[in-house]
Chains A and B, each alone.
Chain A
Amino acid sequence: MTPSSSGQSGAIPVDYVRFCAPILLLWFPNGAESTDPKREKGNEILSEMGNSATAARRPKKARLMQGNLAIAEGALAAGLGFFASYPITPANEIANFLSRALPKRGAIFIQMEDEIASLAAVIGASVGGLKAATATSGPGFSLMQENIGYAAAAEIPCVIIDVQRAGPSTGRPGSPAQGDVMQARWGTHGDHPIIVLCPGSVQEAYELTIHAFNLSEQYRTPVILLSDEVLARMWESVELPLAQVEVLGRLHPEVPPEWYFPYDDALGDVPPLVSFGQGYRYHVTGLFHDKSGFPTERLDEIDTWQQRLFGKIEGKVEQIARIEEEEMEDAEIAIIAYGSTARSARHAMKLAREENRAVGLLRLVTLWPFHDKAIERVASSVKRIIVAEMNRGQILLEVERVAKGRANVVGVNRADGAMVTPAQIMAALEVER
């Protein structure tokens, strides 16, 4: 990387070097004249790190950035080592950018033959030790569902970015929607745990992408980032580099290979995942498996595995799920929204406050696991909850489930490929039910 480009990329290569460079050095086994090529190449990459570390100390600098690019930059900052995808509107800028940026870091970009192959390659690369991601939109997201289940069951970290567009089917490819909320939760067959994040601004798209990689490593799970077409193509000011970018790498087991079992609850709720090729030979499968990864039909082994699999996420909702409250202290009406719809909701809330009406906003940053307790608190403290979303009421049903009639729950919905407007939400303030 040249010094001129390091400013543009901010703190990015620091974490990339820490987590993916050691594995990617395998790309140059005979690369240098030095007797120890790995050391040689390592030094070269470390000097790049020096450049970017200098960049990181510079004062924060605002950059105008598109939502899709913020996701791509966030992925690089998180240490992205492998990206595979298939072209689809409105996610294309992510792949376009990464196809240029990743090879410069010695990392991998590959355009696969379809979205099924894209996620398959991502999972394979993750088993090989690289932080890996794919990006798509509704139709491609549908194709990925089987392999999302595989990653959840085999507990392989990976990040899936779904830039939602209006559907079903081909729908309106260039128009926003939030119709994939339930698909992100339940799209693959069978019960499984999942983490789904939903950014509401370009800045947050950057930050949540990093967070998505962290969660995927921390909990050994696929993490889905649900963006939407508005956020994807919107340009906003983003402050880079961030003062503190926490990036989590993969844990290495403290036990020797003969004692290592990749699904052993004795190693914790989230046993360390060793990359292939490091002397810890084991088996990965989508079949129900025992602690060693071998298929099993024994109900006691299946029970042990499932308890840990679900417990590691469903038992940690408070730690995982993020929500953001605005003007909720004295609110009598709460608007619940997420993604770009939360922007309309915030505007409606401000208009209502100007009229001295006690309206607050609860923004869901994490959609799944669903933060039941936060919704319970709101339902107990307000008279009415308005759930605004660009679908026909997917989160609305969850809010009703948790509210249990404690508050009057009203949906503001549309699924025609247009944004929910502040006026629509304002109108719902008047509705009595």
Chain B
Amino acid sequence: MMEPTVPEHEYLRAHKKFPSVWCAGCGIGIVLGAIIRAVRALGLSKDEVAMVSGIGCTGRMPVYVDFNTMHTTHGRALPFATGLKLARPDMKVMVVMGDGDALAIGGNHFIHAARRNIELTAIVVNNSIYGMTGGQLSPTTPLGAKATTAPYGQIEQAFDIAKIAEAAGASFVARSTTYHAIELDRLIARGIDKKGFSVIEVLSNCPLFYGGLNEMGDAVEMLKWFRDNTTAAPGKVASGKIVRGVLVDRDLTGYVESYRKLIAASKKRGGA
């Protein structure tokens, strides 16, 4: 079951860009490692991969990888990536976002990218908080949890990213955590390979803000929390544990595929 992870330096931009901007104990580096291993496993060349991000801690991820990379405006990574994918349908375009980026300011784009079922791989690093701005509440901050802008506890319900993606029409939806790095590799690889819109939610650790404000301990304690409070066996839902693994995998027509048919159909019609 357990395989050692191998550093994949050739996918990193060695010059100038390290050390990373992320705090000690941050989970985003684990997600970055999983993405690189997934790309390696699929045998993709660096030229055919694009990584697009928005704003926030996760938004800084593309600068480190030697792909075609784009760091866009807050919440808008998915529409930027939509344009890129339609211009370059031959490329694998992945979009990395935090929970605030993907579901607060970018929530509408998230829903519509899923509805359109466009061939993008959305990786949402969900640490339940805004890290870069100092620990404000996010749309995935659980009820009762504390944030710098929820000092008395969050009184709003949290979004369930996977359920939104499923209801809006994504082909593939999966969830894992930064504790389950190898599992994450495989889920990301399946997402990249899937036709249509794929979403991989990664529960991640922000020990500095979320962990600190909610007395969850350091990064190791948070990883242990992921280990103890999630399950890959759907039967355990009743136990209150968060389900990991593939949650949705269905064969739907993707946008690029549909547009290809639309082009063919339009050429048969007269007029301008």
Contacts and interface: CB of A to CB of B under 8 A. Distances in A.
B189 interface: no
Contact of B69 (A23, A103, A284): A284
A97 B271 CA distance: 11
Interface in B173-210: none
Nearest to A147: B73
Contacts of B89: 26-27
B40 interface: no
A110 B263 contact: no
A277 B80 contact: no
Contacts of A1: 267
A112 B111 CA distance: 12
B97 to A, nearest CB: 13
Contact of A124 (B71, B82, B108): B82
Given A27-B260, A117-B112, A294-B16, A277 B83 contact: no
A310 to B, nearest CB: 21
Interface of B: 16-17, 46-48, 50, 52, 62-63, 66-73, 76, 78-91, 108-109, 111-112, 259-260, 262-263, 265-267, 269-272
Given A283-B71, A284-B69, A125 B86 contact: yes
21 contacts: A26-B89, A27-B260, A28-B260, A82-B87, A103-B265, A104-B269, A112-B82, A112-B112, A113-B79, A117-B78, A117-B112, A120-B83, A123-B72, A124-B82, A132-B87, A277-B48, A283-B63, A284-B70, A284-B71, A285-B71, A294-B63
A129 B87 contact: yes
A29 B90 contact: yes
A31 B83 CA distance: 22
Contacts of A147: 73, 76
A253 interface: no
Contact of B87 (A2, A23, A279): A23
A70 to B, nearest CB: 13
Contact of B68 (A4, A101, A108, A282): A282
Contacts of A110: 82, 86
A81 B88 CA distance: 12
Given A82-B86, A147-B73, A108 B271 contact: no
Interface in A270-300: 275-279, 281-287, 292, 294-295
A27 B88 CA distance: 8
A114 B47 CA distance: 31
A146 B73 contact: yes
Contacts of A113: 79, 108-109, 111-112
A277 B272 contact: no
Given A108-B87, A113-B109, A2 B270 contact: yes
Interface in A253-278: 275-278
A110 B116 CA distance: 11
A53 to B, nearest CB: 18
A275 B88 contact: yes
A117 B79 contact: yes
A9 B78 CA distance: 34
Contacts of A120: 72-73, 76, 79-80, 82-83
Contacts of B47: 277-279, 281
Interface residues of A, number: 58
Interface of A: 1-2, 4-5, 8-9, 23, 26-29, 81-82, 84, 97, 100-101, 103-104, 106, 108, 110, 112-114, 116-118, 120-130, 132, 146-147, 150, 275-279, 281-287, 292, 294-295
A282 B69 CA distance: 6
B130 to A, nearest CB: 18
Contact of A132 (B63, B70, B83, B267): B83
B263 A103 contact: yes
Contacts of B91: 128, 276-277
B79 A130 contact: no
Contacts of B52: 124
Most buried by B among A1, A82, A277: A277
A112 B70 CA distance: 20
B155 to A, nearest CB: 28
A414 B108 CA distance: 37
B7 to A, nearest CB: 20
B90 to A, nearest CB: 5
A128 B84 contact: yes
Contacts of A2: 270
Contacts of A97: 272
A150 to B, nearest CB: 5
Contacts of A106: 263
Contacts of B267: 1, 103-104
Contacts of B266: 100, 103-104
A363 to B, nearest CB: 31
A121 B82 contact: yes
Contacts of B271: 5, 100
Contact of B63 (A23, A84, A285): A285
Contacts of B90: 26, 29, 277
Most buried by A among B62, B73, B265: B73
Given A26-B89, A128-B88, A283-B71, A4 B112 contact: no
A211 B265 CA distance: 32
B43 to A, nearest CB: 17
Most buried by A among B73, B86, B270: B86
A139 B35 CA distance: 39
A276 B84 contact: yes
A213 B265 CA distance: 29
B270 to A, nearest CB: 6
Contacts of B109: 113, 117
Contact of A121 (B17, B80, B263, B272): B80
Nearest to A128: B87
Nearest to B260: A27
